[in-house]
């Protein structure tokens, strides 16, 4: 059957008037809806796709679901169905243009126009997500711009024909090898056929933001396979490389929207735009600027498929779409490239792999597919870190009478916030430090809420529900009790009062993380591992047989990945100290991971765990045959099977090494921090890896020197790494310490 329907012919109660657009999925006609008596845009699926029964069924069903959406920035769907084996969608017809033609004409948009377009598209997408639908093809050609008089140009999101319902679990009608979406704006999980959700559309909206501000797609490549590889592996480009007049913080926001891992992106499209708005326009959502009407626009483009304009297509990569017939071959080509890269880096030993000890699919109930850590990192080129110590103008900020130490640092918006303790008043009191965005201008916040009798100290801090929550310990009367504090601004802190924090024996909270149902803190209670939960008002505890047992169990760190939480630490049940891991997946209790994956001769300890890519990375130490401590790294696909990474060139040597913290830099590199003690002198040390398997140890002069230095935590505050800990001068006086590194590649 020819694809073009003749003018005057009828289809499903529509009289065809003219062709107004063509795309990879179908043809869009201007038509008269005979029953409604109005002009509509009628999209008809191309015969090649219509012959695929599975695709045709999905197209019709999801279009009917999308027809239920009601939003001022969504083109309404009047009807969807099938006639003569031709699926169709009948939509409202809008005079005007689309964002792709606007960008072809002007190349870039102003900051105000960019924000105004994005906020309307974001609102439409979030409304669809609330109804359980993911668009999956967010691109400029599907953002229509209304032609009207006045000061505001309204935009509409269209083409919900390839939406995905999140409420039909396990009911995917996409054949293996089919790519759904448009390559230039496609999220990594679409390319690898992983589950999608609203954050998939956040990624595409980030690509649109980049296009609006720079005039080009994020990854302009000559071949589709190269574009797919870039979405999977390459660090997102920076806007300021093209538009240096824009603030550097714009890069951080756009790159977060385009993060490889869904969990690293903004939770909603509106959250992304609200973060971008003040960086671009200096305004907030309370003072929004409308899009100014641009004169001289034509009404040639209407709703539906991508438009074709003679002579305006530009370079081929700007009009690229995933070809349906060749999609499977393209995916196989990407797989071949990734396999070749993995092989070129060397294969792990049969007994210990870099991606974890288990293979196959995730356990039941896990929301995270079993994709290895090594598949989620970027190119093998190591980053370069140029370190310098921070010397505050007021030496009392990091020093003073008695010892001080910074235990944990996090990015708090555009700035940094660190917690620890200070003994300036004779005993240890809670101490909080705040810093500028470059990590060089610090202020100490002495807080009455953590300065009572006995010793208090903060071990970790996170942001939750508009507040900052810190956890640690409080030593009153000789017993160490768990403790937690809250703050609205990071300067004034108040302790939580809870009977759950004390009791017989000693308790301590060591780390805290935000999970699906609230905060989760981990540590120990007596000889058992302990978990505390906070839903926003009160604290509770988790009870599980897996948290106790013979010997001593302690949790040192926790990471959250969707519905899965993984905690790591140590266990002495077998006579020596073994690394230990626990796993929780909603709605089950905490379960102890098999010890055979973690048990080694002598002593091991996992100090910190993070999510990286789609897996987990933990760092700590492993004891060598000579009795020295060696730095150690473990990796896992889903938290159930763990593998100890063997890299004798980076882990080991004379003296002791120990890793305390690790951070991932935008899916491209891992940086671990800690200490090394040789001949009685302790220096701060860093380790760098581009793939999680191969590590390089470095001791820059800025991290060493007279006395002792130790890095306890590190965070990424683009474009800087901020490391914190303490240093002792040759007399033994201990002060808090901060080091900052600028990051380059090569």
Residues with a catalytic annotation lie at 137
- The whole-number pLDDT of residue 180 equals 54
**For residues 495 and 153, which has the higher predicted lDDT (pLDDT)?**
495
Per DSSP, the residues of 171-199 read ---PPTT---S-GGG--HHHHTT----HH
Rounded Cα–Cα distance for residues 432 and 494 (Å): 12
Mean pLDDT value across residues 219-242 = 91
| Ordered structural domains, the chain, with CATH | 10-90 (3.30.200.20), 98-167+176-309+317-342 (1.10.510.10), 373-388+544-709 (2.115.10.20), 390-542 (2.115.10.20)
Residue 318 clears pLDDT 90, i.e. is over it: no
On whether the CB atoms of residues 238 and 250 are closer than 8 A, the answer is no
Angle at 617 between CA 613 and CA 619, to 5 degrees: 155
For tokens 């600028």, what's the residue?
742
Q: What gap in Å lies between CA 209 and CA 202, rounded to an integer?
A: 10
DSSP secondary structure string for all residues of 245-304? TS-THHHHHHHHHT-SSGGGS-SSHHHHHHHHHHHHHS--GGG--PPPPPTT------SS
**Of 480 and 21, which is predicted with more confidence?**
480
Q: From CA 601, how far away is CA 354, in angstroms rounded?
A: 20
SS3 168: coil
- What token pair was written down for 316? 């081929």
CA atoms within 13 A on the CB side of 406: 36
**pLDDT-derived band of residue 202, with 50, 70 and 90 as boundaries?**
very high
Q: Report phi then psi at 222, rounded to 5.
A: -80, -25
Instruction: Give pLDDT tens digits for 362-373.
Output: 222 333 222 233
Q: What pairs with residue 736 in β-bridges?
A: 726
Digit-coded pLDDT (tens) for 653-666: 788 999 999 999 86
Structure tokens at 190: 């679409």
Angle at which helices 198-214 and 111-130 pack, to 10 degrees? 170
Question: Rounded to whole angstroms, how far apart are CA atoms 108 and 120?
Answer: 18
* 254, 236 Cβ separation under 8 angstroms: yes
Q: Is the pLDDT of residue 134 over 80?
A: yes
Question: Which two structure tokens, joined as six digits, stand for 122?
Answer: 């974001």
CA distance 313 to 703: 53
How far is 745 from 730, CA to CA, in rounded Å? 36
Helix (H, G, I), strand (E, B) or coil at 338: helix
Between 378-392, 517-531, 614-628, 695-709, the lowest mean confidence (pLDDT) is in 378-392
Query: Helices (H) and strands (E) in the chain — how many of each?
Result: 10, 39
Reported confidence tier of residue 392, pLDDT bands at 50, 70, 90: confident
């Amino acid at each position: 059957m020819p694809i073009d329907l003749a003018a005057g012919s009828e289809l499903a109660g529509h009289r065809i008037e003219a062709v107004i657009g063509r795309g990879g999925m179908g043809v869009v006609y201007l038509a008269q809806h005979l029953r409604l008596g109005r002009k509509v845009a009628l999209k008809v699926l191309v015969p090649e796709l219509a012959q695929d029964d599975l695709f045709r069924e999905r197209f019709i069903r999801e279009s009917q679901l999308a027809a239920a959406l009601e939003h001022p920035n969504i083109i309404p769907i009047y009807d969807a169905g099938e006639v003569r084996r031709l699926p169709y969608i009948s939509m409202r017809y809008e005079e005007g243009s689309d964002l792709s033609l606007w960008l072809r004409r002007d190349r870039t948009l102003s900051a105000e126009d960019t924000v105004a377009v994005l906020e309307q598209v974001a609102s439409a997408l979030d409304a669809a997500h609330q109804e359980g639908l993911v668009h999956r093809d967010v691109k400029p050609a599907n953002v229509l711009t209304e032609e009207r008089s006045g000061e505001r140009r309204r935009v509409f999101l269209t083409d919900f024909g390839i939406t995905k319902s999140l409420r039909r679990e396990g009911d995917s009608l996409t054949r293996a090898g089919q790519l759904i979406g448009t390559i230039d704006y496609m999220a990594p999980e679409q390319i690898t056929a992983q589950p999608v959700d609203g954050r998939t559309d956040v990624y595409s909206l980030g690509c649109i933001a980049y296009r609006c501000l720079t005039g080009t797609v994020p990854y302009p490549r000559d071949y589709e396979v190269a574009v797919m590889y870039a979405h999977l592996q390459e660090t997102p480009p920076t806007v300021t490389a093209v538009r240096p007049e824009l603030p550097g913080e714009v890069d951080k926001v756009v790159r977060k929207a385009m993060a490889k891992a869904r969990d690293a992106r903004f939770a909603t499209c509106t959250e992304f735009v609200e973060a971008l708005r003040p960086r671009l326009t200096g305004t907030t959502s309370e003072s929004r600027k409308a899009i100014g009407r641009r004169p001289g626009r034509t009404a040639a483009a209407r709703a539906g498929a991508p438009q074709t304009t003679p002579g305006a297509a530009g370079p081929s990569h700007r009009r690229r779409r995933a070809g349906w017939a060749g999609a499977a071959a393209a995916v196989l080509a990407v797989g071949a490239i990734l396999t070749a890269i993995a092989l070129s880096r060397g294969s792990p030993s049969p007994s210990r792999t870099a991606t974890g000890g288990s293979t196959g699919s995730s356990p039941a109930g896990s929301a995270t597919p079993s994709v290895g850590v090594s598949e989620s990192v970027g190119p093998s080129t190591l980053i370069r870190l140029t370190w310098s110590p921070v010397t505050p103008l007021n030496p009392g900020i990091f020093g003073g009478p008695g010892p001080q130490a910074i235990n944990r640092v996090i990015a708090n918006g555009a700035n940094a916030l660190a917690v620890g303790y200070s003994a300036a008043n004779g005993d240890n009191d809670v101490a909080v430090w705040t810093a500028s965005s470059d990590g060089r201008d610090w202020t100490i916040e002495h807080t009455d809420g953590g300065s009572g009798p006995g010793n208090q100290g903060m071990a970790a801090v996170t942001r939750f529900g508009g507040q900052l929550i810190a956890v640690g310990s409080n030593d009153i009367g000789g017993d160490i009790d768990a403790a937690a504090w809250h703050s609205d601004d990071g300067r004034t802190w108040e302790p939580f009062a809870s009977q759950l924090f004390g009791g017989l024996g000693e308790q301590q909270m060591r780390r805290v993380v935000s999970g699906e149902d609230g905060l989760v803190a981990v540590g120990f209670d007596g000889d058992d591992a302990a978990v505390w939960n906070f839903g926003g008002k009160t604290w509770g505890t988790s009870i599980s047989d897996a948290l106790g047992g013979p010997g001593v169990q302690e949790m040192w760190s926790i990471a959250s990945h969707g519905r899965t939480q993984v905690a790591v630490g140590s266990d002495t049940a077998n006579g020596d100290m073994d690394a230990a891991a626990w796993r929780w997946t909603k709605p089950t209790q905490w379960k102890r991971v098999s010890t055979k994956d973690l048990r080694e001769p002598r002593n091991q300890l996992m100090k910190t765990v993070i999510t990286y890519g789609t897996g987990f990375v933990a760092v700590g130490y492993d004891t060598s045959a000579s009795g020295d401590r060696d730095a150690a790294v473990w990796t896992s696909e889903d938290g159930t099977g763990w593998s100890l990474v063997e890299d004798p060139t980076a882990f080991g040597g004379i003296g002791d090494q120990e890793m305390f913290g690790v951070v991932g830099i935008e899916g491209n590199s891992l940086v671990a921090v800690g200490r090394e003690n040789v001949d009685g002198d302790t220096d701060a040390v860093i380790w760098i890896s581009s793939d999680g398997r191969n590590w390089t140890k470095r001791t820059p002069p800025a991290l060493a020197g007279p006395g002792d230095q130790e890095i306890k935590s590190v965070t990424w505050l683009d474009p800087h790494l901020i490391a914190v800990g303490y240093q002792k001068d040759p007399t033994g006086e201990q002060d808090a310490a901060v080091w900052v590194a600028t990051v380059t590649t090569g």
